[in-house]
Amino acid sequence: MRGAILRYGLYLIDVLVVTLLFYWLFLLVRGTRAIQVLKGLIILVIVAFIAQRLGLNAFNFLIGKFWPVFVLAFVVLFQPEIRRALAEVGQRRFFRGFLKEAKPGYFYEIMEAVDILSKKKKGALIAIEREAGLKTYIETGIRLDSEVSRELLSTIFLPTTPLHDGAAIIQGNRIAAAGCLLPFTRNPDVPPRMGMRHKAALGLSEETDAVVIVVSEETGKISLAVGGRLTRDLDLTTLSETVKNLLLRPKEVLKR
């Protein structure tokens, strides 16, 4: 009797784990084109399970032969989502220990640069690296490896400079590169009239845990992209508090 109860208990745990896995995967791809692929995969798994229970040997043989292809296609199609999921796991305190500390000076230099660019209506795209490395995107731009300063950031995004169309990427307290190319969003629900900078900011936030700040060239309004979500029309105070909470320890208090 105990053996039967234990066996059914393990079976329920197995089903629960698989259900949670698919639910987590659904949350990752919700709002993207990959959601249709995930639905098809779930249907295929259910059909394969039923076929196995009914003893459809020919169908099971075909599924067994093509299963490695399905797995490979899954990895290719869901590459951005898998990368983002692993980045999110790596951000947990349990796995990464203590959060990185950020220096107050560099934080305020970014905020002041954003304020200047916003008031002058100069378009800007600033990506701040967190746990997921941005080396791939840094290599697409011009390396600077300079200290973060409002003067340099403001100059980078002047329309007369050759770097203003790309993104400036910040690692730690340094501007790693400027003029960098970022991936556009894969979200099909994005409005067609959304600007290129906003699409790039949203795209990077879908694939990494970076904090991406956008200043509109047309209106000077400030937006923030994090975790595949874009928040628009932020004032400088709200932006500062939000970015501070994302970058620093929860108990960190910045003093000028």
| CATH code reported for the domain at 104-247 | 3.40.1700.10
Residue the block writes with tokens 């916003």: 118
Residue the block writes with tokens 């990464």: 96
Identify the three-state secondary structure at position 231. Answer: strand
Query: Which string of b and e fits 205-231 if b means at least 16 CB within 10 Å?
Result: bbbbbbbbbbbbbeeeebbbbbebebe
- What pLDDT does residue 57 have? 79
Distance CA 24, CA 19 (A): 9
- What pLDDT does residue 26 have? 66
Convert the pLDDT of each residue in 57-80 to its tens digit.
777 777 777 767 766 766 666 666
**CA 52 to each of CA 58, 61, 69, 86, 93: distance values in angstroms, whole numbers, following the listed order:** 10, 10, 19, 32, 41
Identify the three-state secondary structure at position 176. Answer: strand
- What pLDDT does residue 146 have? 92
Convert the pLDDT of each residue in 176-225 to its tens digit.
999 999 999 988 888 888 999 999 999 999 989 999 999 999 999 999 99
Residue 179 has φ and ψ, to the nearest 5°, of 70, 25
Give 16's pLDDT tier (boundaries 50, 70, 90): confident
Distance CA 245, CA 256 (A): 16
Average pLDDT over residues 87-95: 50
Identify the three-state secondary structure at position 215. Answer: strand
Distance CA 85, CA 24 (A): 9
- What pLDDT does residue 112 have? 94
Instruction: Say what the pTM is.
Output: 0.61
Convert the pLDDT of each residue in 108-141 to its tens digit.
999 999 999 999 999 999 999 988 889 889 999 9
Residue range(s) occupied by CATH 3.40.1700.10 in the chain: 104-247
